[in-house]
A and B are shown apart, each in its own frame.
Chain A
């Protein structure tokens, strides 16, 4: 520790009112906004999330209400007008479905699957990871064996096996993604919790005879959050891509609830015959979503990891 920092710390102890220290969240936010590309990514994520949530109210058409579809409008190129004077900005598919509306609804399903599986996988991973680090011993080595075993196989292979056995369905895709992803969170949380566990404040908490649960989740867990955020941003992008891939391969979501991946797969047959828009635009929406999340995740990693920021 340099003299200067000792001095500032002394000052802090002596006179707490004069020195204002930013909370960790403010510090991260301040550093985050220094990168313009990351801000653009964040804005894009918010916009995409808004479109996905508000799709039923802002989409020009309900693409799954057959009464609103006209087969005569099938296969129109982008910018064409419908019989009723409505403009199809991104063209239509074979059934005369407006691609713009289809993409909005598709985003909804893609993001829903990713968000729900993220929430469940984090919950399981955090509980298991913290418990492994906190209790150690046999429990720890048992859990980490399972985690290592699972992580030694590619995620796509495991998800594909599960869906081949379970069949199609939104709930089944979510289940497969949770099973694939929990191990990443468990490993991340455990590796930082095992360092934190040896620190004095945990010993202090134990001396106070606090319950294991309280120490694990109120004392240990909050100090393991930064790496968890980084892994979560990477993993949610992975989850969206994986869901799209599974749906593209025909083992993901059912035809009645098409995600972006299924829209792309439906348009794939027309790609070679020149009707590029049926699968190109859903693909662009998918890629924009994933790129935006990865850009933000990259920046978060730099900000949250002081070792790399030099």
Chain B
């Protein structure tokens, strides 16, 4: 187990290092930041002075060393636009994004697993076919388009829910959250559904496929033959066995939800870090872009690591095959 943990942890570090190199090369080596920072009328002396001040006259490997050193100390540079440390600005926006992602995850699992199992038990029934048809639609509708339809129907036509923003927030465990006030909840509902729909379709399909396979196994037939109620067979014998792949997907998808929140936050003007990224790209605020990328990479790699470790605890076969490989 320890061998596996060390090995897996090493892989995660490698992934973060690789992304750091790519982000650094991408952001700092392509194009010249000085051109953006300095006015077009600047003299040659000004340009040289700025280049020196930013350390851009040093060789690339030295710049990279400085970048890594500062990054390890939690310093990813000051935002050009806000004039404050980029990481602080991102971290201020992090709770809003995490709240959105977690609520969306709860929705997608809460509806996805039961619907998928239902469709898997009766694959040819009308309900089963409808669920599958719906999941193709959930798959096919691009995220931003779903969001716009939700706004069009529930905000513009029906006027039930607000079209954007976060609404009233309250303090919860030291963080600002929306889901505890009625106003905040009404703002949260549409974006969360929007973010959940795609993952829900994914979970429905996964749960359905696994249910179909598991339902044919001998132990399910035996459980039925023993005279157990259908409810018990489904809830205990089938559900338990389909949860292993579902749990993995849930873990992995949490990371991708943070990324997909970029789209949802833009459509619903949700003040999270994804919207901040789009704003920063439009304003060419490089330190903020770098800070966002490094933080997101860190979050995703950590989640992947956590899922793998949990999974290997649940299923020893994985651990063994990894150790051999």
Q: A residues touching B (Cβ–Cβ < 8 Å)?
A: 149, 152-154, 156-157, 160-162, 164-166, 237, 241, 244-245, 248-251, 261, 264, 268, 271-272, 274, 276, 279-280, 283, 286-287, 290-291, 294-295, 298
B163/A272 in contact, CB under 8 A: yes
Is the pair A250, B30 in contact by a Cβ cutoff of 8 Å?
Answer: no
Pair B30/A245 contact, Cβ less than 8 Å: no
Inter-chain CA distance A149–B22, complex, in Å, is 12
Those of B17-74 within 8 Å (CB) of chain A:
18-19, 23, 26-27, 30-31
Hey, which chain A residues are within 8 Å of B260, CB to CB?
A: 154, 156
Bound-state Cα–Cα, A83 to B137, Å: 39
Taking CB atoms, residues of chain A closer than 8 Å to B30 are 165-166
B256 interface residue (CB < 8 Å to A): yes
Given contacts A272-B156, A272-B163, are A249 and B266 in contact (CB under 8 A)? Answer: yes
Q: Which residues of B contact A149 (CB under 8 A)?
A: 15, 18
Partner of A271, one of B18, B148, B296: B148
Spell out B's residues near A (CB within 8 Å).
15, 18-19, 23, 26-27, 30-31, 136-137, 139-145, 148-149, 151-152, 155-156, 163, 255-256, 259-260, 262-263, 266, 277-278, 281-282, 289, 293, 296-297, 300-301, 304
Q: Determine whether the beta carbon of A268 is less than 8 Å from that of B148.
A: yes
Name the contact of B140 in the complex, choosing from A248, A271, A291 (C-beta under 8 A). Answer: A291
Decide yes or no: A153 and B297 within 8 Å by CB, A241-B142, A245-B263, A287-B141 being known contacts. Answer: yes
Chain A residues closer than 8 Å to B148, beta-carbon distance: 264, 268, 271, 279, 283
| Cα–Cα, bound, A298→B136 (Å) | 9
CB of A286 within 8 A of CB of B142, answer yes
- A294/B136 contact (C-beta < 8 A), A152-B304, A249-B266, A268-B148 known: yes
Main secondary structure of the interface of B (DSSP, over half): helix
> Which residues does chain A contribute within 8 Å of B143, judged by CB atoms?
241, 245
* Residues of A with C-beta under 8 A to B163: 272
Closest chain B CB from A53 CB (angstroms): 22
6 contacts between A and B (CB under 8 A): A149-B18, A157-B259, A160-B262, A244-B145, A261-B142, A283-B148
| B144 lies within 8 A of A248 (CB) | yes
> For the complex, what is the distance from the CA of A89 to the CA of B264, rounded to whole Å?
31
Supplied contacts A152-B301, A248-B263, A251-B278, 17 more A-B pairs, CB within 8 Å: A152-B304, A156-B259, A156-B262, A165-B27, A237-B140, A241-B142, A249-B278, A250-B278, A261-B144, A271-B152, A272-B156, A272-B163, A283-B148, A287-B142, A287-B145, A290-B140, A291-B140
